[in-house]
Structure 1
Amino acid sequence: MLLTKVNVKWREEAVSHFMTELIDYAGLFPPAALPLSEAISNFHAYIHDSDSWMLGPFVIPASRLSELKPYKALFNDKYPLRLSVIFTKFEEIETEMEAIRHFLETYKTAGTIQAIEFPLPTQVNYSFLENLEKQTGSYPIYCEMKGTNDQFLNTLDTIHSINQKSLKRIGIKMRMGGITTNLFPTVNQAAFVIHECQKRELPLKFTAGLHHPIRQYRTEVKTRMHGFVNVFTASIMAYSRSVNTATIQAILHDEDPTNFSFTTDSLSWRDLTVSSAEIIKARSFFAASYGSCSFNEPREELGELTIFHGEAVR
């Protein structure tokens, strides 16, 4: 059960639209780095938990899909094993797509693929991305990018042009932290990515470093960790209100939880407010989800915050 001080039912609040399938479970990855048996056992428990509606897919490398066979009995068509599959490199796409097909043949209606995550090389061109789009079938794909801002913008422009001709949309995956300080992007870097993706209508998902709801200094990584409430509030405001980079930066920087508030049908940051309907639209088309090696920590810490109000905040 969620450890929460919220005196209302989550499912009826704007916060439910904010949190629906927000957390992709990445228990295989650091810092948890659990054995597959334990991570799968956790995911099985979570999908039967009263907070299962907050849970996204299980994140797994394509190279480990064959290891899932012994766990098939844990899942069924009502409670399937939903996966977001991480590919390695372009040369392996055919092999990794075959691994997906084999998983689906094994699991049948007890397993689904919700997305593919792909690490792009530093330099890519139109034909590379077009082939990537074609070879990954109908699955949504999120590309993790490297390189300078100019390279980044060129790739975003190319993805945007491909998306305009495609039935599916290529999105962007942004790393928000890790186990060492250097893996955490600055507020300015994160705001830049959010703003540029919003301008091009590119779906955006995040991974790593978002265990805590509000931005805060953490001794275990000796730096400030981004908060998932900050990141998704900034993304939702960018999508719904087309706020500028400076405002996105201000939301990401904010370490005062009282500047964020949920009412029955709205989310506010200071004097900016979005409705439940706008949250749903932004989450559906832009701010997809984030990968976390913990499902418990984010929801428990969010529940401890006093940012939930039954009526509109004045």
Structure 2
Amino acid sequence: MFERNESVRVLPRSSDAFFEHLIDYAGLFPPTQLPLQIAITNYASYITGTDEWKIGPFVHLAYTLNELDPYVSLFSKEHPLSISALGRKGQSERDSFELLEEDLKAILSFRERHGEKVSVDFLELPIPSLNVTSQYIAELHLYLSKYNLFCYCELPINEEEINWEDRLKDAMASIAKQNRIAPSLIGAKLRTGGIRADLIPSVEIVASFIHSCKTHKVPSKFTAGLHHPIRMYRDEVQTEMHGFLNVFIAGLMAHTHDLEQEAIIDILETQESSGISFEKDKIIWNGLEVTTDKIIELRRSYLRSYGSCSFEGPMNEFRVLNVLERG
């Protein structure tokens, strides 16, 4: 959507840069949990609608991709069914690779059956433990290279475990090291919510994840819970839910201004939109600024997307905030 020619560069608005392919559509998953026919029909309409540039891949389990076969006719070479495939979690690193081999065969078979009507470029893989070994990361990279995939490793962070923050940093360092010695094919993924309060990570966990990704220059993805733009208390979970503006703007500002964790936490905890302004050439968040150019760079390189069971809901809630071109 960002057009260029040799003499003129057409610069998008900051909001265009922010929302470019921001949401990966996970309509099959809770709390929406739509039937497959409805979810895939929704996706086919989204990628040909006026907001198609805001949506990313369709999220589906890798080993059951054959369930999508009857619906591939809804798509075309011009508007393919783009998939982010979910891998399965093994109890150990060896178990993880046994399941991964089966999932990768399912991905390859799906690609071969449908050709240019489909694309499977992303894998989301829950790793067995935060104590991931460098050997595991290196072997994973070999699989990704063979199957031409980019993988987001879902990091299982438990705040009750001793030294979880040190282990998070070590895992990020292992990913970053592998990406430096070979083509960058691995990112990190964090679950930011769920259908119960105990599934929603603290601001400390989210801030540590963002800070570690920034420090080690690891591409990131988020999933679950980011249904609303701004952090707010929700009766359905009896606690505060993270806002997608909080999370992504925290990431943008952390990279741009080299923020430490305390400053990232301040952004994540904000429950008011009065200090936010999406202006033409920058986003302002309570005095901090990030330019449209920088947003484009960071969104494409590091702050990739988040999975949501709803596409229209987050977009509609953002529109009513009245934060566009403020001031």
- Normalised to the residue count of structure 2, the TM-score between the two structures is 0.90
Q: Partner letter of residue 64 of structure 1?
A: T
Output the CA distance in 2 between the equivalents of 1:193 and 1:208: 15
Output the CA distance in 2 between the equivalents of 1:139 and 1:169: 7
Q: Secondary structure at the match of 1:258?
A: coil
2:36 corresponding residue in structure 1:
36
**1:184-263 correspondence to structure 2 within 5 Å:** 184-263=200-279
Q: Aligned to 2:184, which of 149, 163, 168? A: 168
Does residue 269 (structure 1) correspond to residue 276 (structure 2)? The answer is no
Does the CA-based 8 Å contact 1:97-1:136 persist in structure 2? no
Does residue 93 (structure 1) correspond to residue 100 (structure 2)? The answer is yes
Tell me how far 1:150 sits from its aligned partner. 2.4
Does residue 129 (structure 1) correspond to residue 137 (structure 2)? The answer is yes
Q: Partner letter of residue 49 of structure 1?
A: G
2:112 corresponding residue in structure 1:
105
Output the CA distance in 1 between the equivalents of 2:269 and 2:56: 26
2:8 corresponding residue in structure 1:
none
Output the CA distance in 2 between the equivalents of 1:281 and 1:240: 11
Tell me how far 1:136 sits from its aligned partner. 2.0
Output the CA distance in 2 between the equivalents of 1:42 and 1:171: 28
Q: Partner letter of residue 69 of structure 1?
A: D
1:154 corresponding residue in structure 2:
170
Does the CA-based 8 Å contact 1:188-1:249 persist in structure 2? yes
Q: Partner letter of residue 70 of structure 1?
A: P
1:4 corresponding residue in structure 2:
none
Tell me how far 1:151 sits from its aligned partner. 2.1
Output the CA distance in 1 between the equivalents of 2:172 and 2:289: 28
Tell me how far 1:100 sits from its aligned partner. 0.8
Q: Secondary structure at the match of 1:70?
A: helix
**1:5-154 correspondence to structure 2 within 5 Å:** 12-88=12-88, 89-122=96-129, 123-137=131-145, 138-147=148-157, 148-154=164-170
Q: Secondary structure at the match of 1:40?
A: helix
Tell me how far 1:90 sits from its aligned partner. 2.2
1:5 corresponding residue in structure 2:
none
Q: How many residues align?
A: 301
Tell me how far 1:73 sits from its aligned partner. 0.8
Identity of counterpart residues, as a percentage?
A: 39
1:8 corresponding residue in structure 2:
none
Does the CA-based 8 Å contact 2:165-2:208 persist in structure 1? no
Give the stretch that moved more between structures: 93-102 or 224-233. Answer: 93-102
Q: Partner letter of residue 322 of structure 2?
A: T
Output the CA distance in 2 between the equivalents of 1:133 and 1:192: 24
Tell me how far 1:12 sits from its aligned partner. 4.3
Q: Secondary structure at the match of 1:136?
A: helix
Could you say which structure has the greater relative contact order, defined with CA pairs below 8 angstroms and 6 or more residues apart? 1
Q: Secondary structure at the match of 1:173?
A: strand
- For 1:8-36, what per-residue CA distance to the aligned partner results, in whole angstroms no more than 9, with x for missing partners? xxx94210100010000001110011121
Output the CA distance in 2 between the equivalents of 1:235 and 1:192: 11
Output the CA distance in 2 between the equivalents of 1:151 and 1:12: 39
Does the CA-based 8 Å contact 1:146-1:152 persist in structure 2? no
Q: Secondary structure at the match of 1:257?
A: coil
Give the stretch that moved more between structures: 51-60 or 128-137. Answer: 128-137
Output the CA distance in 1 between the equivalents of 2:69 and 2:208: 41
Structure 1 runs (4+) deviating above 6 angstroms are none
Q: Secondary structure at the match of 1:294?
A: coil
Does the CA-based 8 Å contact 2:12-2:292 persist in structure 1? no
Q: Partner letter of residue 289 of structure 1?
A: S
